[in-house]
Structure 1
Amino acid sequence: MNTSSLDKRSTIISIGIIGTMFFTFGFISWVNAILIPYFKIACELTNLESYLVAFAFYISYLLMSMPSSYLLKRVGYKRGITIGFWIMAAGALCFVPAAYGRTYGLFLVGLFTLGSGLAVLQTVANLYITLIGEQERAAQRISIMGICNKGAGILAPLVFSWAILRPSDKVLFKEIPLMDEVLRAATLDALIMRVALPYFVVAIVLFAIGLFVNYSPLPEIAQKDEKTDTARSSVLQFPNLVLGAIGIFLHVGTQVITVDTIINYADSMGISLLEAKSLPSYVLTATIVGYLFGILLIPRVVSQKRMLQIASVTGLILALLVCTVQHPVHWLALHMDISIWFLCLIGVPNALIWAGIWPLALAGLGSHAKQGAALLIMGLCGNAIMPMIYGAIADHSSVRTAYWVLVPCFMYIVFYAFKGYQFKYWRKD
C-alpha cells in the first residue's frame, strides 16, 4: 500500500502502533541502567565486565543491520516487525535459564538476541514514521516518537527496580562481601533469580505485541523504484554522511554513558542502589524536555542546524562541568555532588543532536539515501563500544575520571555541527 493514500483514521492507528514500538524500544533499552549495577553485584563483576551488558545489547546494531535489511526485503515490513518482536521474546526467555545457573554469558546472549530483534524493528520504525502522514509534519511525528521512547525509559528503571529490589537490600549489599563463600553464593543465587520472572513476563508481552502487529491494519510500505545515481558509486564517497555517522556513533555513546553509568557513579559517593534507582529516569526526563524544546522552537524560532550547534556546545560545557566541578548539594531528597545533576542535564542537548545530524548527513545523497540511512543506524553501535571505553578507564582510574571520555565526543559533534557537514567531497578535483 502507498502510505500517502491512507485516510486519517488509518494514519492515526498506524502512528499509534509505531508509537507502541518506540515505547517498547525505550523500555527494553533503558532497563539496562538497572541491570548493569545489579549484575555487577549479583555476578561479582568489575566495571568493565558489567558494561558488557550495554556492549552485548548494542553491538547487535552493527552486526545485524544488514541481515535485517535482507529479512525485510524477503518477508515485508509488517511481517518483519512481527518477527522482530518474536526475536526479542526469545532473548527475554534466555534470562530464565541464565538466572537459574547464574550464568553471565547466557545473560549476554539474551541481551544480544534482544538487541537483534530491536535492530529489525528500528530499521522499519524510522521509515514508517517518516512516510506515514503528511511529509511536512514528519519532524513532529519523529519528536513524538522520541517522547514515547524516552517516556518508557523513565518508567523502565522504576518498574524494574520495583520488581527486583527490596527495602532490605541496602543492608544486604553491604553484607555480601563479608559473608563466607557458601552463604555468599547462596545469597547471590537468590538475588539473580529475581530477574527470571520479570523477563518471563516481558517475553510473553513481546510475543503478544508481535502477534497483534501481525493481525493489525498496519499497511505495507510500497516504495517507488529510484534511478541509480552513477555520479558516486558508494555512500562512503559522501564525507557529510561518513562524518555524520561518526557523529551519531559518538552521540549515542554519550547518551548511553550518562544513563547507564549514573547509578555506579552515585554508588562511588556512598549512595545505595535503592536511593539512586531514579537517577536514570532524571536523565531521560531531561531528554524529554529537550524534545519539547525542539517541537516548540524548530523551525519557528531557530533552524534545525542552529539548534544542533547550540546543543553540541551546551553538551560540551556540561561534560566539562561533570569532570571539573565538585560541590555537595541537597535536592529532591538526595544529598549528592552537583556533578551528578550536570550529568542529568546532558539529556537536554542530547535530545536535539540526533535530529540535527540526520538531515545534514543525508543531504545530497539522492538515490543513495537508503544506504546512507543504514550507515547512520549502524552508528548506534556506539552504544556498545563507548560504555566499554568508559568502564576500562573507570577500572584503571575512577568512575568520575572516566567521564572525560565525554569531552572529545562532544568536541567532535561541535566540529560536525559547525564545519563537518559542509564537506561534500573528500578532495577537490
Structure 2
Amino acid sequence: MNNKSIDKNSNLVSIAIIAGLFFIFGFVTWLNGALIPLLQTVCQLTAPQAYLVTVTFYIAYTITAIPVSSVLNKTGYKRGMSLGLFIMAVGSVLFIPAAHTRIYPLFLFALFVMGTGLTLLQTASNPYIVLIGSEKSAAVRISLMGLLNKGAGILAPILFTTIVFSGVSSISTEHFNSIPLAQKLSELSSLSSKLIDLYSVMAAVLVALALCISISPLPEVETHDQDKNEKVDWKKALKYPQLTLGVITLFFYVGAEVIAGDTIGLFGKQLGLANYTEFTAFTMFFMVAGYIIGMIFIPKLLSQEKALLGSGVFGIVITVAILIMSNHSHLSAPLLAKFGFTHPVPDVILMVGLLGLANALVWPAIWPLALRGLGKYVNTGSAMLIMAISGGAILPYLYGLLGNLILPQYAYVILIPGYLLIAYYAVLNIRNNKSNTLKI
C-alpha cells in the first residue's frame, strides 16, 4: 500500500469525510424500510410486490459492481465517490415523476439508479476505510462508519414518518376500502406527492456533497502493484478462498440485515400496529449499540473473528425466539413507554429489531478478513463483496413469498442458514488467523 502521503492528521480528515458519506448512504438505504409499506398502499400492491423495492435497490449492486470496479480503477477513490453521489442525486430526482404518476415501475427505476450510485460509492469507500490504516483496527474504523450509517437509519424512518404522514389520518387498507373510488384516488395521489419534497431536498444535498468531495483534501490510497489500466479479473480473485467464502457469507448477512430492517415495518402493519413505519428505527438502534460495542472491544479485548462468531450465534438465538414467541406478548411495553412509544409494541417486533445487534459487527468483520492478502486484486475483491449485497434483494423477497404461504412471523426461519454460515466463516478464520489465506 502506498500511504506515504497520508499522515495521521490527513487520516483523521479522511475518516471524517468518509464518515459523512456513510451517514448519507445509510439515510438513503434505510428509507426503504418505511418506503415499502407506503408504496404498498400508494400503488395498491401485494406484500411480495412491495418487496420488489428491496429487490430492485439491492440487485443494482450485483448488476453494476464489476463495471463500477473498472470505473474505479480509472477514476480513483475520490472521483469515484463524487460520481457515485451524482448518480444517487439523479435517482432522487426520478422520484418526482414517479410520485406524480404513482407508476410503480418508475419508483423501481429510481431506486435502481440510486442503488447504482450507492454501488460506486460503497465500492470506493469501504476498501478506502480498510486501506487507510492498520488492518487489525480496520473493524473499529468500519464500526465507526456503521455507527454513522445506522444512526442515519434511526433518523430516516422517523423523519420519513414526520414528513410524509403529517396531516394524514389513516393509510390502512380498511380505510381505503371504505371510501368512494374518487376520494380514494385523490387521497392516494396526495399521499404519493408528499415524497416529492423529501426526495427533492435529498437530491440537492447529494449534489452539494458530490461537489464538496471533488474539492476536498481527501488523499488517494493505492494497493500494491495497482494498475489503473488493468482489467478487472474476478476469476483470479476467486482463487483466494478467504474472498470466495467471504462473498457467500456476506450475501447471506446482507439478506439478514435487510430482512431485519426492511420487513419489520410491513410485519408490524400485518399485525395491525400503529406507527409501523417507525419500526425500522428499532433495528437501527440495536445496530448502533452493536457498533459501539465493537468500537470499545475490538481489537483490544475481542478479535474480529470472535466478534463474528458471537454475531452468528446470537443471530440464531434471536431468530429462534422470534419463531416461538407469541405476537400478543407485551412484556417490553413499560420500558418502551419510557422512550415515548405510547402505542403497545409486541415483544416479537422488538426481537426482530434485536437482530440489529446480531448483525452490527458482521459487515465490519468480514471486509478486512475477506480482503486480507489480495494485493492488487483489492478493487476486484471489493466489487465482488459489493455484489454480495444482492442478498438484500433476494432473501427479503423470498421472505415475502414464504410469508404469503405461512405466517410472516414464521418466515423469519429463512435467517437461520445465514447465521450458521456466519459462525462457520468465523470459526475458519479463528483457526487460520495467522495465515493470509483461508483453509476451507
Same fold (TM over 0.5): yes
Instruction: Give the 3-state SS of the residue equivalent to 2:360 in structure 1.
Output: helix
Correspondences of 1:252-401 after superposition (within 5 Å)? 252-272=254-274, 275-326=275-326, 327-329=328-330, 330-331=333-334, 332-333=336-337, 334-401=343-410
1:173 Cα deviation (Å)? 5.5
Measure how far apart 1:303 and its partner are. Answer: 2.2
The structural deviation recorded for 1:425 is: 8.1
- Bigger mean CA offset, 367-376 vs 141-150: 367-376
Tell me which residue corresponds to 1:159: 159
In the alignment, structure 1 residue 67 sits paired with structure 2 residue 67: yes
Larger mean CA deviation between 59-68 and 218-227 belongs to 218-227
Q: Using the alignment, how far apart are the partners of 2:361 and 2:385 within structure 1?
A: 16
How far apart are residue 139 of structure 1 and its match? 3.2
Q: Counterparts of 1:132 and 1:359 in 2: how far apart (Å)?
A: 12
Map 1:205-284 onto structure 2 (within 5 A).
205-225=205-225, 234-272=236-274, 275-284=275-284
Q: Are the equivalent residues in 2 in contact too, given 1:251–1:409 (CA < 8 A)?
A: yes
Structure 2: 5+ residue stretches without partners: 338-342
SS across alignment from 2:301: coil
| 1:244/1:421 contact within 8 Å kept | no
Q: 1:70 to 1:51 in 2, by over 3 A?
A: same
| C-alpha distance 14-271 of structure 1, shift in aligned 2 (>3 A) | same
Map of 1:124 onto structure 2: 124
Q: What's the CA shift for 1:113? A: 0.3
Q: Distance in 2 between matches of 1:7 and 1:355?
A: 23
Q: How far apart are the structure 2 equivalents of 1:383 and 1:422? A: 29
**Partner Cα distance (1:210, 1:233) in 2:** 33
CA-atom RMSD in angstroms: 2.5
For residues 128 and 370 of structure 2, the distance between their equivalents in structure 1, rounded to whole angstroms, comes to: 20
Change (3 A) 1:83 1:309: same
Superposed CA offset, 1:243-278 (max 9, x none): 221110000111110111111111222202xx2233
Contact 2:82 2:214 in 1 (8 A): yes
Q: How many angstroms apart in 1 are the aligned matches of 2:376 and 2:97?
A: 46
Determine whether 1:43 maps to 2:52. no
List 4+ stretches of structure 1 deviating above 6 A: 420-427
Q: Which residue of 1 aligns with 2:412?
A: 403
For residues 78 and 347 of structure 1, what CA distance do their matches in structure 2 show? 30
Alignment of 1:62-141 (within 5 A): 62-133=62-133, 137-141=137-141
Inter-CA distance 407–137: structure 2 relative to 1 (3 Å threshold):
closer
What CA distance in whole angstroms lies between the structure 2 residues aligned with 1:367 and 1:5? Answer: 19
Q: What is the identity, as a one-letter code, of the residue corresponding to 1:97?
A: P
* Equivalent pair of 2:36/2:262 in contact (CA under 8 Å): yes
> In structure 1, how many angstroms separate the alpha carbons of the residues matched to 2:386 and 2:171?
43
Of 366-375 and 318-327, more deviation after overlay is shown by 366-375
Residues 358-404 of structure 1, C-alpha deviation per residue, up to 9 Å, x if partnerless? 34434454554443332222111111111110111122222212211
CA contact (8 A) 2:242 2:369 kept: yes
The answer to whether the 8 A contact 1:88-1:114 is kept is: yes
Partner SS for 2:345: strand
Query: 1:280 deviation in Å?
Result: 0.9
Deviations 1:83-116 (A, max 9, x none): 1111111100001111111111011110000010
Letter in 2 for 1:265: F
Q: CA deviation at 1:171?
A: 6.8
State how far apart, in whole Å, the 2-side matches of 1:219 and 1:425 are. Answer: 32
Q: Which runs of 5+ in 1 are unaligned?
A: none
Q: Number of aligned pairs?
A: 422
Residue range with higher mean Cα deviation, 197-206 or 7-16 = 7-16
1:415 to 424, 427, 430: 424
